[in-house]
Chains A and B, each alone.
Chain A
Amino acid sequence: MQFTIEDRGTYTEVVANGRLNMVSAPTLRSTVDEAVGAGSRHIVVNLASTDFMDSSGLGALIGCLKVARQAGGDLRIACAQKQVQMVLELTNMNRVLAPYATVEEAFARD
């Protein structure tokens, strides 16, 4: 799993590639912690290339969401694939982390 960060002006895009699990979850946490530490307030995690997420992966997203909100910002997710959507639906976390269809839409109305 690899993460890349892109500054998109009004928000920061974190692209997650591969499997978001116990192995890669800490890297996502530190990537978002760094971005928030560097001043990013609006974070979009692009999950277009995340083909699998387990409970540790979801835990990392929840942790990242808390970090962003504590800093007065927000974290949103975009382009969730089928398996990721199922995990969000099953745990009802889609009520808190609703996936947006595209990265651009995530903060478009703010």
Chain B
Amino acid sequence: MTVSPPERRALVIEDDPDIRMLLTSLLKREGFLVTEAGTVREGVEAARRGVDIITLDLNLPDGDGLDACSQIRPISDAYILMITARGSEIDRLQGLDTGADDYIVKPFSPRELVARINSLFRRQNRQLAASTAATEADTNERQRAAQVQQSLLPRHGVELPDYDIAGEFRPSRAVGGDFFDWYPTPEGMHFTVADAMGKGMGAALVAATVRAVLRSTAEEPDLARAFTSAAASLDADLERASSFVTLLHGRLTASDGAVDLIDAGHGLALHVSPDGSWRRLASGGVPLGTVPGWDWEVMSVTLAPGDALAIISDGLLDIYDTLDEFAAAAAGVVAASASSADACGKLLILAEDPRVEDDVTAVVVRRSTGAGA
């Protein structure tokens, strides 16, 4: 079987327009599809969209290449070639765990650059020949995992008269550690928004386990007891996986808008009034898997007609300096939205920012204005 080489994509992160043009034309001549970026911010954003090789200048207007490298590494497996103006830097750089694969000194000859890149791809092709089958299996598995994870999310809101319920989730990779869940109960509904540590497959597996264990406690009428028993059975698993989970779990009584909530280190639940005023609901509980035997406190709030409960994962927090700034922005979006689905969509648009590196999730439960009338 012959493997046809896939199109190779290169990203040039370089602020000097002349050098950028030179690198771009060299890489194009070698058959690469080239994207250009002049800043760390643009570079990280472009890397997220997927590339095979990145040339990275060490001095960029909005940060240094080392920082860019540490931001790119978790989101991309691209080969990173660091470009520095000082030969004396190379020794120091090679001693650091920068995440770069190779270094080259400016001014470099075009031939040297091309030789480096070709030797890299020869090396990769040899590995590729050996691992293509494995990689394909891996990719398939990852796609399957993404499908499974999406299928675990509730497909529809719970049909509750007088309530509008919506949720949205955007993983930073194919799969992520965030999830949300809800299901109807005789009184109203139960819901969960959670974030397992880290990103990718490991986090997704932990998330799926937590979802299943929490659902298994739905029949227990006492929320604190249900949660404590779920936490106890998850502790050992989380300990073994060296992971932890922040989450918010709540129970809504539809008739009077009463919500009982447990906050396990999630911290981003907002009670939003129709005029946009808000209160952050936090009870001081630690995440699951951190302190065995923790006693979580149950908070109670009442959703008056028109009030909303918005639960947002910490991914979005990367944009704001303080919790209050974040809460005010999110509450403003929720209060101004026509529906819960609209609010979730707008919250995720806020998260379309290169500074947001994490999974992002939003769940909104709103009691309609005419309720209880």
In the complex, the answer to whether A23 meets B290 with C-beta atoms within 8 Å is: no
The answer to whether B246 and A91 have CB atoms under 8 Å apart is: yes
**Binding site of B, secondary structure by majority: helix, strand, loop or mixed?**
loop
Question: Given A59-B242, A92-B265, is A1 in contact with B70 using a C-beta cutoff of 8 Å?
Answer: yes
B57 within 8 A of A: no
Contact assessment for A58 and B73 in the assembled complex, using a CB-CB cutoff below 8 Å? no
Complex Cα gap A22–B97 (Å): 13
* Contact call A55/B197, Cβ cutoff below 8 A: yes
- Cβ contacts A1-25/B at 8 Å (1 or 0 each): 1100000000000000011011110
B243 pairs with A59, CB closer than 8 A: yes
Which of these, B67, B70, B177, B267, contacts A92 with CB under 8 Å? B267
Q: Chain B residues near A86 (CB, 8 Å)?
A: 317, 322-323
- Which segment, of B79-87, B114-122, B215-223, B281-289, faces chain A? B281-289
Task: Name A90's closest neighbour in chain B (CB-CB).
Answer: B267
Contacts of B67 in A (CB 8 A): 19
Chain B residues with CB under 8 Å of A93's CB are 265, 286-287, 290
Q: How many Å from the CB of A56 to the closest CB on chain B?
A: 5
Q: Mark B245-257, 1 if CB is under 8 A from A, else 0.
A: 0100000000000
Residues of A within 8 A of B286 (CB): 91-93, 95-96
Are A22 and B199 in contact, CB atoms less than 8 angstroms apart? Answer: yes
Chain B neighbourhood of A82, CB < 8 A: 321
Instruction: Check A90 against B323 for contact (C-beta < 8 Å).
Output: yes
Q: Does B3 interact with chain A (Cβ within 8 Å)?
A: no
Q: In the complex, what residue of chain A is closest to B292 when comparing beta carbons?
A: A66
- Taking CB atoms, residues of chain A closer than 8 Å to B268 are 90
CA of A22 to CA of B282 in the docked complex: distance in angstroms?
27
* Residue B198 interfacial (CB < 8 Å): yes
Q: Is the CB of A91 within 8 A of B265?
A: yes
A98 interface contact, C-beta 8 A:
no
Q: Which residue of B99, B266, B267, B284 is within 8 Å of A23 (Cβ)?
A: B99
Residues in chain B near residue A54, CB distance under 8 A: 357-358
Contact A27-B358, Cβ < 8 Å, known A55-B198, A86-B323, A92-B285: no
Per the 8 Å Cβ criterion, residues 85-122 of B in contact with A are 96-97, 99
Please give, as numbers and ranges, the residues of chain A lying within 8 Å of B321 by CB-CB distance: 82
Which residues of chain A are near B290, meaning CB under 8 Å?
A: 62, 93, 96
Q: Which of B71, B74, B97, B242 is the one whose CB lies under 8 Å from A27?
A: B97
Contact call A22/B243, Cβ cutoff below 8 A:
no
Supply 19 A–B pairs (Cβ within 8 Å), ascending by A: A1-B97, A19-B71, A22-B74, A22-B198, A23-B74, A23-B99, A54-B358, A55-B177, A56-B198, A58-B244, A59-B244, A90-B265, A90-B268, A92-B267, A92-B282, A93-B290, A95-B286, A96-B286, A96-B290
Residues of A bordering B, CB below 8 Å: 1-2, 18-19, 21-24, 27, 54-56, 58-59, 62-63, 82, 86-87, 89-93, 95-96
